């Protein structure tokens, strides 16, 4: 929709005030109706932005090219001292050759020369119509629920950043004390209610969290989103892997002749794997990374491949665990510690589709150096962007 004033504003406003401030401002405007007056100071307080930034954004929104807002200058009636709007008086004057104070009814000769008391703003007719059309489109979409789980603070931050780009993030505490962030996400085909929580770092913890989330929110879709170690030569730092299959490498038997691994495979849901393939086939999801971070580094790609999950953080490609993974899950391109528990738990709920989405934060060797270089933040942001793109594009079968 290139004719959208809000889109045009977002493109220009981000350069003026930064992506986050601009998005917050847009969300704010989208919640106002045509009649509501908007004051600069009030926006600054509500959005915790400095007043100069707000003023710049307001000027931009009022500019003829954007046309989202129009000024509503407050002046006082010279007879009764009532506050009236200059623009209304001027319009009336143009139309009828005379304008009257709504308070006392006296005729005001020259509204352009009255001293201004305050400047307010209100949505233009075009912006109001756009908000209206958008609300009607959202109301027409089926409502579905998605749960997004992660296990580390850096992952939760990335998920939260994606949620904040969607709208106002709320909070819900469920029995047992688990805290969920909540947001409404307007997907292309689905109006999502998204619930996100941070569990602990292990397969059993991820399984428990998923079960708790399903019982609390009855979601149709569940995603585990976070970082993983990549198998060297198969992936690069910052790449995203949407798991088709998670190999649980911890299952096996210790015998007198050694350890006999048992191959346990858990599969992501077919509909979500399909969606992940289509998201990965285009570069569009990377735009979402930009919205959550200022620095843009696009030298990463997305894969839809198997991964491995177990109890250990694998920090060396020549470790016994890395060798075990290579022998029982040779197709795995990443290693992590929650995906198997998560998918094993998803399987128990027939109405829930699940998928694991991972960003590559290290390549097993040199993990500490990679983590220090901020690769966890990058990997988590990329994984969260990819996961939210899956939700945005998701469509129910006809």
Count of residues of this chain found to bind Zn ion when the rule CB under 5 A is applied: 7
Q: In the complex, what is the shortest distance from the CB of residue 102 to Zn ion, in angstroms, rounded to a whole number?
A: 8
Which two three-digit tokens encode residue 300? 């990463």
260 three-state secondary structure: strand
Task: Name, in order, each residue with C-beta under 8 angstroms of 69's C-beta and a sequence gap of 6 or more.
Answer: 29, 38, 58, 61, 62, 121, 122, 123, 124, 127
Instruction: State the Cα–Cα distance between residues 95 and 236, nearest whole angstrom.
Output: 66
- Return the residue of 15, 79, 133, 287 that touches Zn ion, per CB under 5 A: 79
**Rg of the chain, C-alpha, whole Å:** 27
- Return the residue of 15, 45, 91, 104 that touches Zn ion, per CB under 5 A: 104
| Residues of span 248-287 touching Zn ion by CB under 5 A | none
Instruction: State the Cα–Cα distance between residues 210 and 223, nearest whole angstrom.
Output: 9
Kindly tell me which of 103 and 311 has the beta carbon lying closer to Zn ion: 103
Write each residue from 198 to 227 as x if it is in contact with Zn ion (CB under 5 A), else as -, in one continuous string.
Answer: ------------------------------
367 three-state secondary structure: helix
Is 129 a binding residue for Zn ion by CB under 5 A? The answer is no
Is 138 a binding residue for Zn ion by CB under 5 A? The answer is no
Q: In the complex, what is the shortest distance from the CB of residue 80 to Zn ion, in angstroms, rounded to a whole number?
A: 3
Is 77 a binding residue for Zn ion by CB under 5 A? The answer is yes
Is 80 a binding residue for Zn ion by CB under 5 A? The answer is yes
User: Where are the extended beta strands (E) located within 27-153?
Assistant: 38-39, 69-76, 83-85, 116-123, 143-150
Q: In the complex, what is the shortest distance from the CB of residue 89 to Zn ion, in angstroms, rounded to a whole number?
A: 11
Is 117 a binding residue for Zn ion by CB under 5 A? The answer is no
Kindly tell me which of 79 and 179 has the beta carbon lying closer to Zn ion: 79
**Interface stretch with Zn ion, choices 31-39, 96-104, 120-128, 184-192 (CB under 5 A):** 96-104
Is 101 a binding residue for Zn ion by CB under 5 A? The answer is yes
Beta-bridge partners for 72: 120
Q: In the complex, what is the shortest distance from the CB of residue 93 to Zn ion, in angstroms, rounded to a whole number?
A: 15
Kindly tell me which of 52 and 82 has the beta carbon lying closer to Zn ion: 82
Is 103 a binding residue for Zn ion by CB under 5 A? The answer is yes
Dump the DSSP string for 2-33.
TT-HHHHHHHHHHHHH-HHHHHHHHHHHHT--
Q: β-strand 191-198 against 221-230: which pairing, if any? A: unpaired
Q: β-strand 179-186 against 170-173: which pairing, if any? A: antiparallel
Kindly tell me which of 73 and 203 has the beta carbon lying closer to Zn ion: 73
Residues making contact with Zn ion (CB under 5 A): 77, 79-80, 82, 101, 103-104
């Amino acid at each position: 929709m290139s004719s959208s004033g809000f889109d045009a504003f977002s493109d220009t406003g981000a350069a003026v005030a930064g992506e986050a401030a601009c998005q917050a401002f847009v969300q704010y405007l989208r919640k106002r109706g045509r009649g509501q007056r908007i004051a600069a100071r009030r926006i600054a307080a509500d959005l915790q932005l400095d007043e100069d930034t707000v003023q710049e954004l307001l000027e931009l929104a009022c500019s003829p090219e954007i046309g989202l807002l129009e000024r509503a200058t407050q002046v006082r009636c010279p007879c009764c001292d009532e506050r009236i709007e200059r623009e209304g008086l001027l319009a009336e004057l143009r139309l009828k050759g005379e304008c009257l104070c709504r308070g006392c009814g006296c005729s005001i000769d020259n509204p352009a020369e009255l001293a201004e008391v305050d400047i307010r703003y209100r949505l233009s007719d075009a912006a109001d119509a756009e908000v209206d059309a958008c609300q009607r489109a959202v109301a027409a979409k089926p409502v579905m629920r998605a749960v997004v789980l992660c296990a580390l603070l850096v992952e939760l931050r990335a998920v939260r950043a994606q949620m904040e780009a969607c709208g106002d993030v709320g909070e819900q505490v469920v029995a047992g004390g688990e805290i969920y962030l909540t947001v409404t996400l307007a997907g292309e085909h689905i109006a999502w209610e998204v619930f996100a929580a941070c569990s602990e770092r292990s397969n059993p913890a991820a399984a428990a969290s998923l079960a708790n989330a399903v019982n609390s929110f009855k979601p149709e879709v569940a995603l585990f989103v976070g970082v993983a170690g990549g198998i060297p030569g198969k992936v690069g730092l910052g790449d995203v892997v949407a798991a088709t299959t998670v190999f649980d490498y911890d299952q096996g038997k210790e015998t007198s002749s050694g350890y006999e691994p048992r191959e346990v495979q858990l599969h992501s849901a077919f509909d979500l794997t399909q969606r992940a393939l289509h998201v990965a086939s285009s570069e569009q999801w990377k735009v979402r990374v930009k919205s959550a971070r200022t620095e843009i580094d696009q030298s990463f790609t997305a894969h839809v491949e198997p991964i491995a999950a177990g109890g250990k953080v694998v920090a060396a490609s020549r470790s016994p665990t890395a060798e075990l993974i290579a022998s029982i899950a040779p197709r795995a391109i990443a290693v992590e510690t929650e995906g198997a528990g998560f998918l094993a738990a998803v399987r128990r709920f027939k109405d829930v589709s699940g998928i694991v989405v991972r960003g590559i934060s290290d390549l097993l060797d040199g993990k500490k150096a990679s983590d220090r270089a901020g690769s966890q933040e990058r990997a988590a942001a990329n994984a969260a962007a990819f996961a939210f793109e899956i939700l945005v594009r998701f469509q129910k079968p006809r």
